[in-house]
Amino acid sequence: MIKRIGIIITLFMLAFSYSIPVFAKDDITGITLEKEMRAMVEQGIIKGYGEGIYKPDANVTRGEFATFLARALKLPVITETKFEDVSPSSSLAEGINSASGVGIVTGYLDGNFRPNENVTREQMAAMIYRALLYKGYEDLSMDLTFEDSGKINNSFKQAVSMNVYYKIINGYVTDGKTYFKPKDDAKRDQAAAFIYRMLDLNPPEQPEEPSDPDTNTYFKVASISNGDIVPINRNYDTFEKAESSITNPNNQVVLLGDKVVKMASGIAVGSYPASGITVIYNESLSKQLTYVSNAFQSEMKYLGADSEKIKVQVADTIGYVKHENVTLIPSGLTTGKSYYYVENGNLLHRIYYPITKNYQYPYTVGKAPAFMSTGQKYYSWNGHTYTNESGKVVGESYPYFNRISVRTKTAYTAEELNQYILKKAPNGVLVGLGKDFKAAEEQFGVNALLMLSHAMLETGNGESKIARDKKNLFGINATDTNPYENALTFETYAASINYYAKEVMLKKYVDPNGPYGKGGVFGNKSVGMNINYASDINWGQKVGGGFYIMDKELGGKDMLNKTYRIGEAVDPEIERYGLNVRSQPSTSSDIQFQIFKVGYPLTIIGEVQKSDGLWYKVISDSKDHKEAFIHSDYVRELNVAK
């Protein structure tokens, strides 16, 4: 009998010993949120502290919850940190950086994230809210009925409301009343429950499949991660819906198919059709402001976008381009950038092609400004305001020969021009044409050296097929679509020079009443001939740079000419009322023409002091006059490197 009792006791003890792991194998067993907590552990979203230890009632830090979300959403890995207090060596850094990169978590105004600070329930709701938007759920809400709703921070109320709508937040029931307890520190089991319920939702509704996949493409939101664009698995049928779902504007973009159509910052590149042009319009897309070459992969500063167009800056022109004509490259994905630098006292410009990712051979712009140093890179969208590597403006300087009027007169003789041509372009058709350039200067009042500089650039030092076959030295009518066939043909080179000086320069591009009269300088895409003559953004600078090189090698007589100073019209009311350019320094004098453009270029040749103030004497752009006067109240003299 005693033996049987001993056997029974032994069996009971064995049964009891084996029952312990079944009912108490870890510290999750039996808690209210066991199902949710255990699911998050099994999926590797929440990890333990050792065998069977998960501390469901412990507080959760901001860094831990960010990491939980990064694991739950399988976010793209982002290693770059933007928070000063998140060490790259921290085990939570990857999760924080990834969640921050897609806008699910944010920091404080002091630049810190405070990863070790306990996350409150309302903060946790805000992070879940952004995660729902990231996943593509519609931003819905419902009235909050918590007894303590008034204690929820106003900036978190929509987040809490959306969590309630999707049944992620239930609240605490006490004595028949429900409370949210927004300021309480969140516990690990609560964090598990929030994430579990979020993952358990039905996937967000997607638009119907397009009837023609080749022509119908969805909008998407994508994050920039380690040099790649990573789309979020959610389609939108409109630009506006995709735009409204962005959770981190600094690191997310809107895609149409695989094409970026909205971003925080970056460049717009003329790209389609590759051999064509991109037109820059006014805001209503009803008026052309200028145009740029796609073949040159023209860089434009990106300023914003909507469903129809992209806002850009070209030189000092703010305009709009159509989505289909450009490629948007976000700031974080640019691999190069055009820049200026100093070499032997000269300012050079090296152009970067963002699509093919290669640099072009640099060209000389002019004399380097005094504020620039050798060995440094400088950047400019307009060719006169320069920033350093960090984006800080370091100075302003205008290229002299790019901004002097084509109606100035060079100090060099026909013989000196011929000597230069023979030295620099001995195998081209320009040899011996010095007298023809000077004759045109004398007859039409157009600078011979500027014309020669343009001819050398346009013809490749006189060796182009158009120059040889058609005796066309300036690419007149050689449009981007079919340059050779469309280029005009002349009987002699002298005829080409004369036509260019009289019909092209004076009548079309210098005369304010001409079809392209935006100022008698080569300029850029905001002023002068470059607006409409050439699709190359840098064409005006290249012609002016050629003038500078020739002048420097011939002795610098034109650069040293103190007669010419450079200015621009500044009256902000110009575009509404016009600025009168007069024949004499008096408001009662005849009006030669009116200026309707702020920044209109002026070449100053003198001053006259009158009882009503100082008047500037300028070279007139009217083909019927040589000189004109503008009151100094409406003129800003420009800084040039001389």
Residue 462 CB coordination number (10 Å) = 22
Query: Same structural domain for residues 233 and 362?
Result: no
- Tell me how many domains the chain contains: 5
Tell me what the mean pLDDT of segment 582-599 comes to. 94
Query: Same structural domain for residues 50 and 141?
Result: yes
Query: Same structural domain for residues 277 and 375?
Result: no
Give whole-number Cα distances, 442 to 286, 289, 317, 417, 501, in Å.
41, 33, 35, 15, 11
At residue 3 the predicted structure's pLDDT band, cuts being 50, 70 and 90, is: very low
Query: Same structural domain for residues 192 and 236?
Result: no
In a domain, 298, yes or no: yes
Query: Same structural domain for residues 498 and 413?
Result: yes
**DSSP letters spanning 581-625:** EESSSSTTSPEEEEE-STT-EEEEEEEEEETTEEEEEEE--STT-
Give whole-number Cα distances, 33 to 61, 184, 198, 550, in Å.
19, 18, 15, 82
Structure confidence by residue, pLDDT tens digits, 58-106? 999 999 999 999 999 998 887 777 788 998 889 999 999 888 888 888 8
What distance in Å separates the CA atoms of residue 448 and residue 436, rounded to the nearest whole number?
9
Query: Same structural domain for residues 239 and 309?
Result: yes
In a domain, 20, yes or no: no
Query: Same structural domain for residues 224 and 170?
Result: no
Q: Which residues have a Cβ under 8 Å from the Cβ of 477 and sit 6 or more positions away?
A: 486, 487, 488
pLDDT value, residue 310: 96
Of the candidate ranges 26-40, 98-112, 341-355, the one whose mean pLDDT is the lowest? 98-112
Among the three residues 377, 397, 417, which one is the final residue of a domain in this structure? 397
Among the three residues 524, 553, 582, which one is the final residue of a domain in this structure? 553
Residues recorded for the chain? 642
User: What domain range includes position 189?
Assistant: 30-200
Tell me what the mean pLDDT of segment 366-383 comes to. 96
Query: Same structural domain for residues 302 and 328?
Result: yes
What distance in Å separates the CA atoms of residue 552 and residue 364, rounded to the nearest whole number?
12
Query: Same structural domain for residues 614 and 502?
Result: no
What do you get for the CA distance between the two ends of the chain, in Å?
120
In a domain, 368, yes or no: yes
Residue among 163, 256, 227 nearest 201 (CA): 163
* pTM of structure: 0.78
Query: Same structural domain for residues 292 and 440?
Result: no
Domain of residue 529, CATH code: 1.10.530.10
Residue 236, token pair as written in the block: 């939108």
pLDDT value, residue 9: 44
pLDDT value, residue 5: 47
Label the pairing between strands 346-350 and 363-367. Answer: antiparallel
In a domain, 252, yes or no: yes
What distance in Å separates the CA atoms of residue 574 and residue 552, rounded to the nearest whole number?
37
In a domain, 10, yes or no: no
Please count the CA atoms within 13 angstroms of the CA of 184 that sit on its side-chain side: 13
Among the three residues 375, 397, 419, which one is the final residue of a domain in this structure? 397
Query: Same structural domain for residues 327 and 344?
Result: no
Structure confidence by residue, pLDDT tens digits, 328-352? 999 888 889 999 999 999 999 999 9
Residue 148 CB coordination number (10 Å) = 16
Residue 165, token pair as written in the block: 């709508």
In a domain, 12, yes or no: no
In a domain, 310, yes or no: yes
Domain of residue 578, CATH code: 2.30.30.40
In a domain, 119, yes or no: yes
Query: Same structural domain for residues 421 and 389?
Result: no
Give whole-number Cα distances, 315 to 142, 236, 291, 383, in Å.
49, 35, 12, 7
Query: Which residue has better confidence, 609 or 248?
Result: 609
What distance in Å separates the CA atoms of residue 278 and residue 258, rounded to the nearest whole number?
20
